[in-house]
Amino acid sequence: MLKYEKEIRDFILQYKFDEKSYLYKTFARMIFEDKIFKEQLVNKYDSIISVPIHKKRLRDRGYNQSALIAKELARMCKIEYFEDALVKKNNIVAQSSLDKLGRVKNIKDAFSTGRDIKYLKDKKVIVFDDIFTTGATANECSKVLKHNGVSKVGIVSLAKD
């Protein structure tokens, strides 16, 4: 996992906000080639999903940056990717604008299950999010997945803040 600072931060922000969606392959390759990722996750999980973004944000941005990377990782790892396991039901304030407590409150109950959740029962699932800061988003996704029968949840991020 990369440190979310300096050039890496700039690179990720360009990817997310400057219409540079093509960078997903570079980011996926960086994760796939990471020694820790290979040792701890590859061949130990059945499926991968991405943290969803709200449909309004998806319309505005044109793509879910986490989904692009997660799909490519699934292809590289030869595991299933599920697009619609989780749905972001609330268009919340951007987590990046909040402190730790604000992030926890902001993300609480922001996700519900989508039509693909039925395929994940008793599966080991990786949740991919682009940036890991406080863990609030990862915890909330994990809670919903486990409540709906997922046996194990692993978290993968491109960078840690």
Q: Are 59 and 51 in contact (CB under 8 A)?
A: no
104-119: pLDDT as tens digits: 888 899 999 999 999 9
Q: How far apart are CA 92 and CA 43, in angstroms?
A: 34
| Architecture of the domain whose range is 2-160 | 3-Layer(aba) Sandwich (3.40)
Instruction: Indicate the pTM of the whole model.
Output: 0.92
DSSP assignment letter at 32: H
Q: Identify the pLDDT of residue 102.
A: 84
Q: Identify the pLDDT of residue 126.
A: 96
CA angle at 73 for the pair 137 and 61, rounded to the nearest 5°? 55
The dihedral formed by the CA atoms of 71, 18, 135 and 66, expressed in degrees to the nearest 10: -10
Element holding 55 (H helix, E strand): helix 55-61
Q: Is the pLDDT of residue 65 over 90?
A: yes
Q: Identify the pLDDT of residue 97.
A: 76
